[in-house]
Amino acid sequence: MTLQQERQKARLAAVLLLTTIIAILLQAVGLRKTFVLDHQTSYVFNAIDDRANGGETTSSISIVEDKFLLECDIVKATYQWPYCEISFNLADEENRGVDFSKYEYIKLWLRYVTPTDTGIRVQLRNYDDLYSTAGDDTTYKYNLIEFYERNTPYPIIVPLKSMHVPTWWLVSQELPLDKIGTEFHDVRSLEIATGSAIESGHYKIEIERIEVVGKYMSDRVLYLVLLCIWGLAAFVYLIFKAGYIKSELKLSERRQKELEALNRLLNVKSRKLEEKLSRDPLTGVLNRDGIAELFNGTDYSQKVPKLSIMFIDIDHFKKINDNYGHNFGDAVLVKFAQVLSENTRENDILARWGGEEFVLACPNTELSFASQLAEKLRKCIENYGWPHALPLTASFGVAQMQKESPTDFIERADKALYTAKAQGRNRVVVAGWSQL
């Protein structure tokens, strides 16, 4: 896989990761939808009390200074559980309520004006065909919570998950087990009522604003969507990876055939090379005469395709001999050849050209790969732990054989080396090619 493809893959993974993080953060702290009830609401509202149950409580609702004011004269006499409430009818023209199933909490700007020592009840009445009868609100499920507003920070936040369904209503409806929990998918009314165990007296509840706040998408759905996106990305990656592996296998087969052809050619010349090749007695690598056989013949570029070489010169080697002596310099040469040999390929051929200069021949190697290999060797040399913390570096001249004589080929690589030295050393310079 090319470097550009690797970068594209990394960018795609980064985009997916960033998108996931942003989506989760927005789900946690942003992207909220809000249902609002205030004095400007278009929903019908009215005051309700216990007279429908035989009680004597009276109630009224008015708007004072842009706030709802519920006033109740509670009479605890003929009805055991007196109450009054403001009820907002949320059903639309088609008699469908509001779906609060993806909402999280209710935010209430309300308080008792007088007195302040009794509870407040918040109720969401849900309709369901299984247990509700249209027009009979006693069959609408009570989802409620009761609290004392004097003990609660203002505005009051009521999580929907804190609500419950009262036992007396469940018993009266005889619901199946899977329906006894709270439900908010078709809320027909929202009610603010006086609390239980209330005493007789005059009560005022001031309601400035009611907000029901929730998410556009539930956490479960969001995580499922993100999982699908990552799964799709992985699936697409596997498809491309399979195609890449298939193309690599074909390329490997072609390279194997080229290598077999090269091996046959090298085997033909192996005896002659074994007779003539000689090695440098100090470093153990080929010497100049030993590698010269590789360039015999003016048509060698056709026999060994994509032949590349690099000339390598130790920077400021004379100073090493002057400062540390020739024995130390010889040890550096030995270790230098060893570092090069350990970081090259099996088919690469290393030779000491003379003094501190080496040549590395790379059969079946494109110029671009040879320059990458040279850069790798340059870094290995620079980062190697040399004796006496010696800051040893090397310069490289790289060339690929074209339709030219071996002499011209070597000369181009040698010139590239001198260019590297002239430009400050410790660098790789690639030789250009022109037929002119």
In this model, does residue 302 exceed pLDDT 80? no
Of the chain, the percentage scoring pLDDT greater than 90 comes to 56
Domain ranges of the chain: 32-215, 277-430
Neighbours of 84 (CB within 10 A): 26
Mean pLDDT of the chain: 88
pTM over 0.75: no
Catalytic pick from 85, 149, 356, 357? Answer: 356
CB of 419 closer than 8 Å to CB of 325:
no
Closest CA to 115 of 148, 162, 140, 158: 148
Instruction: Give me 160's structure tokens.
Output: 């929907």
| Per-residue model confidence (pLDDT) at position 435 | 58
Asked if domains 32-215 and 277-430 share a fold, the reply is no
Q: Where are the beta strands (DSSP E) in 52-100?
A: 58-64, 67-74, 84-89
Note the pLDDT tens digit of each residue in 399-409: 999 888 888 99
Question: pLDDT digit string (tens) for 36-64?
Answer: 999 999 999 999 999 988 899 999 999 99
Say how far apart CA 334 and CA 147 lie, in whole Å: 87
φ, ψ of residue 70 to 5 degrees: the values are: -95, 120
* pLDDT of res. 269: 56
Look at strands 428-430 and 394-400 and give their pairing: parallel
Looking at residue 176, its pLDDT comes to 87
Dist. CA 194–CA 265, nearest whole Å: 101
What Rg, from alpha-carbon coordinates, does the chain have?
A: 44
Three-state secondary structure call for residue 225: helix
- 47 strand-pairing partners: 86
The CATH number given to 32-215 is: 2.60.120.430
- φ/ψ (deg, to 5) at 65: 55, 50
Would the pLDDT of 298 be above 50? no
| Cβ atoms within 10 Å of 382's Cβ, excluding its own | 14
Contact criterion met (CB below 8 Å) for 342 and 284: no
pLDDT bracket for residue 266 (50, 70, 90): low
Residues 325-340: what's their mean pLDDT?
Answer: 94
pLDDT exceeds cutoff 80 at 66: yes
Nearest partner of 348 among 309, 393, 379, judged by Cα: 309
The DSSP output letter for 315 is: T
**CATH number at 277-430:** 3.30.70.270
Residues 6+ apart with CB under 8 A from 169: 141, 142
Planar angle of CA 247, 248, 251, nearest 5 degrees? 90
Give the tens place of pLDDT for each residue, 72-102: 999 988 888 999 999 999 999 888 999 999 8
The CA distance from 396 to 382, in Å, is 13
Amino acid 436: pLDDT: 45
Residues in the chain: 436
Contacts of residue 296, Cβ cutoff 8 Å, sequence gap at least 6: 406
CA distances from 414 to 80, 299, 318, 341, 430 (A): 109, 20, 19, 20, 10
Phi then psi for residue 403, to 5 deg, are -80, 80
Tell me the C-alpha to C-alpha distance, in Å, between residue 422 and each of 162, 315, 393, 396.
Answer: 79, 11, 14, 12
For position 415, what pLDDT does the model report? Answer: 95
Model pLDDT, residue 29:
72
Give CA torsion, residues 286, 292, 293, 295, to 10 deg: 130
In one letter, which amino acid is 43? Y
Q: Once rounded to an integer, what is the mean pLDDT over residues 214-232?
A: 82
Contact 416, 430 (CB under 8 A): yes
Catalytic residue at 248? no
